[in-house]
Amino acid sequence: MDYDPGSLSIDFPNLPFSKALHDAEEALVYRHLVPTCVWKFQRWLGIGQEKKHKEAWKIIDDFIYGCISKKRDEMSKNSQSKAYKVGNELGADLITLYMDEVKDRKDTAGAALSWFFYLLSKNPRVLSKIKEELGTITWDCHNISSRNFEELSDELIYLHAAIFEALRLYPPVTFNAKAPAEVDTLPSGHKVDPKMQIIFDMYAMGRMKSIWEEDCCDFKPERWILETGKIRHEPSYKFLVFNSGPRTCIGKNMSLTIMKAAIMTIIGKYNIEPVQGHPIVPSQSIRGYDL
């Protein structure tokens, strides 16, 4: 948003916008859990989760409108509005991209990174293997533009495998729903029709022995590496984290590049430890994390 709310300050300030995002997501998940008439009735009465949703929505709108006005002012002051085009230093923020009508970017890579570092803190063996791999390539963690991260992908097999493994256990999009275009029969024999919503749960699928073998709950990047040392390609309908078919995530490669750049930079400079005693549990949210 080209705006720093200071959420990483040492005293973890209470940010209304951040809380509102969380509340709105919780209310949206709730709509999937109860019959439609229940949440619609709650909305009509202005009670329960729907009340929370309405209040949160207002806070989010006010915040975003503030950011848009600020950005519009900056843009109009800048006589060369072309300077705000995507990729330009001045316009390299999400709000400009949205205002440029490039939509559908999400906070997914951030959620994935949070869980990735959490898993590393619990699995020092994996952390040291990543560090070992990083030691085999030439790059400068104080100057991330020193290497082309896309090119680096072929050299960083273990890091790539560790990211996929974290995404398997903690998918940023935890569940999804689709409706058939017409009456059909699934391979399982279930009859489906366009009025139905078929919900598939990537979080659960990542932890199913029938899909990922007995050790499915272990964080084991090795499962993604073939004996030849290359990455094992799993079918997208098995690893649904980026969806499958024509609506597959178009940001998949970009997000992997972003994550690699962030991980390499952070690991190169810092030791990450979880705060002792801090409860870390997934929450019912669209982003699927609550650290």
Q: How far is the CB of 240 from ligand HEM (least distance, A)?
A: 7
Q: Is 24 or 240 the residue whose CB approaches ligand HEM more closely? A: 240
Q: Which has the closest alpha carbon to 25: 285, 290, 214? A: 285
Span from 39-47, 104-112, 150-158, 214-222 in contact with ligand HEM (CB under 6 A): 104-112
| One character per residue 155-184, x = contact with ligand HEM (rule: CB under 6 A) | -----------------xx--x--------
Q: Which has the closest alpha carbon to 68: 105, 93, 45, 38? A: 93
Q: Is 27 or 206 the residue whose CB approaches ligand HEM more closely? A: 206
- Return the structure tokens found at 12: 């973890």
Q: Which of 42, 49, 96, 108 binds ligand HEM (CB under 6 A)?
A: 108
Q: Is 50 or 130 the residue whose CB approaches ligand HEM more closely? A: 130
Is residue 183 within 8 Å of residue 191, measured between CB atoms?
Answer: yes
Q: Is 69 or 197 the residue whose CB approaches ligand HEM more closely? A: 197
Q: Is 286 an interacting residue with respect to ligand HEM (CB under 6 A)?
A: no
Q: What helix, strand, coil percent values describe the chain, rounded to 5?
A: 55, 5, 40
- Return the structure tokens found at 228: 């030849």
> Is residue 141 a known part of a binding site?
no
Match 């994996």 to its residue by tokens: 126
Q: Is 105 an interacting residue with respect to ligand HEM (CB under 6 A)?
A: yes
Q: Which has the closest alpha carbon to 107: 287, 254, 240? A: 287
Q: How far is the CB of 136 from ligand HEM (least distance, A)?
A: 25
Q: What residues does 199 pair with on adjacent strands?
A: 177
Residues with Cβ within 8 Å of residue 71, at least 6 apart in sequence: 2, 95, 96, 99
- Number of residues assigned to the chain: 291
| One character per residue 31-70, x = contact with ligand HEM (rule: CB under 6 A) | ----------------------------------------
- Return the structure tokens found at 33: 């859990």
- For ligand HEM, the nearest residue by Cβ is 251
| Max CA pair span of the chain | 62
Total site size for ligand HEM, rule CB under 6 A: 18
Annotated binding site for heme: 249
Residues making contact with ligand HEM (CB under 6 A): 104-106, 108-109, 112, 172-173, 176, 241-243, 247, 249-251, 254-255
